[in-house]
Amino acid sequence: MAIPSFSKYVIVGAGVHGLSTAYHLALALKEAGKGSGEDIIIVDKGDIASGASGIACGVVRNNYYQPAMRELMAHSVDVWESDMEAYAYHPVGYMQISCESMHEDISEIYQQQQAIGYDSALIEGENDCTEYMRGIYDDWQAQNITSVLHEKKGGYANNTKSMYGLAGKAKAEGVRIITGVEVTGFTRASGASAIQAVETNKGKIECDYVVIGAGPWVRDFWNMLELPKTVSIKGQDGKTHGPIGMWTFWQLEEGVLNVDPNMFKTNEGKLPPVMHVDTDATLISTVDGSVIEEEGNIWGLYYKPDFHFGGVQGGAMPYPVTTAADELDIDPYGPASPEWVSSPEFAHMWVSALAHCHKRFEGQMNAYHKEPSGGVGCFTPDSFPVFDEFCENAYILADSNHGYKMIGVGKLVAEHIVGRSSSLLRPFRFSRYAEGELHPTSNSPFPWS
């Protein structure tokens, strides 16, 4: 498909944020009498779901210590539930299973979930937690667990199926999706802030408004728009800290245990909730009995049976990429990229962690399968999203690797564009760093918590 010389709205990225924004913007324009989906194009240098959204593990959870994240995710869960067939969404629930150092945080999350009417249950105390978990799985054997937060909502979605479902809904509203188009820059009048045109390898597209939903490539678009490469952050002590680099990159590792997904079901033979375990118990190798993690070192994993991946799929804690952010040349989802597959060290740890939690996974190392999953994530200074408008007419969704589950953000951005701004997006504006209106941090070992 040839690119047009003009489109009122140009959306960069055919992943969850770009597709969701386009679909919901088409609906919002029609409802407001301001246009239709025919006024919108999506451009992507690859194809639909060819980046992070296409290899996401697909977990949809509301397990956040931060009120703003929790409210935003409750909204996104509602969007997932609005068309579960099109979004290939499985509402199996989610479990956060934690050691004592996280107990207070988990209790607070539960209380605040109750305050917003989000259906969940909290089990506390090591004995009660073990009894509850063995009521679900006879072979449960994880150690040092003192709290279980069982979210009855949430679950997971199949990555590419959900994105093609979303793309189909957008196309049905008249949105054009043009693949194989790489954005190379933006045209602005001399001395002006607003974008006049999007420059691509196939020519210019003049426009009135731009939305950038580029996942881990957001840093490159940020630089194209000459936005600040560093920020100063006002802390709770009232002092300003910095300058701090705007972007850091983390290596995200995930994999698949290539077994029949039916191997991992509940005692009742049902599909289980998505499982997330954080513990400080000794982690013993399922291969040779060696110690992988000493007692007292907190470690974590997440996992679920997934017929889309063909086994039990999940991941563990990521690790930072030490190369300077402005020097790192990332294409983490290219066909020859080594970041597509996980390391032997990850595989050993993750399968051993599965065996720590369930006896059924003992001795299953040979079933591990290297799967295109994980990749590189682009994180903001506080590891929480920046959703904000820049240059007068450009909206940037910098999701800080929270992206796939946040399908509802596109709906909120669409409403902002037509003049109905939501309070749910306000805590994620860029100015929070200078104003000191930061998100609280939890005791989770995962950087995005």
The residue with greater pLDDT, 132 or 372, is 132
- Taking residue 392's Cβ as centre, other Cβ atoms within 10 Å add up to 11
- Put simply, whether the predicted model's pTM sits higher than 0.85 gets the answer yes
pLDDT reading at 449 higher than 90: no
pLDDT reading at 7 higher than 60: yes
- Taking residue 67's Cβ as centre, other Cβ atoms within 10 Å add up to 16
Q: Averaged over 413-422, what is the pLDDT?
A: 95
- Taking residue 264's Cβ as centre, other Cβ atoms within 10 Å add up to 22
pLDDT band at 444 (very low <50, low <70, confident <90, very high): confident
116-120, 230-234, 243-247, 372-376: lowest mean pLDDT where? 372-376
Q: What is residue 391's predicted lDDT score, i.e. its pLDDT? A: 97
The closest alpha carbon to 318, from 253, 233, 386, 239, belongs to 253
- Chain mean pLDDT for the chain: 92
pLDDT (tens digit per residue) in 18-67: 999 999 999 999 999 999 999 999 999 999 999 989 888 899 998 888 99
Residue spans of beta strands (DSSP E) within 163-310: 176-179, 183-188, 195-200, 203-212, 230-234, 240-245, 248-251, 254-257, 274-279, 283-284, 291-293, 299-306
Q: What is residue 315's predicted lDDT score, i.e. its pLDDT? A: 92
Task: Give CA–CA dist 349/136, Å, rounded.
Answer: 24
Percent pLDDT > 70 in the chain is 94
Q: What is residue 371's predicted lDDT score, i.e. its pLDDT? A: 64
pLDDT (tens digit per residue) in 291-342: 999 999 999 999 999 998 899 999 998 888 866 566 666 554 443 343 444 5
Q: Which domains are present in the chain?
A: 1-90+155-232+382-449 (3.50.50.60), 94-152+248-379 (3.30.9.10)
Percent pLDDT > 90 in the chain is 81
The residue with greater pLDDT, 224 or 251, is 224
Sign of the torsion formed by the C-alpha atoms of 310, 314, 319 and 320 = positive
Task: Give CA–CA dist 383/141, Å, rounded.
Answer: 32
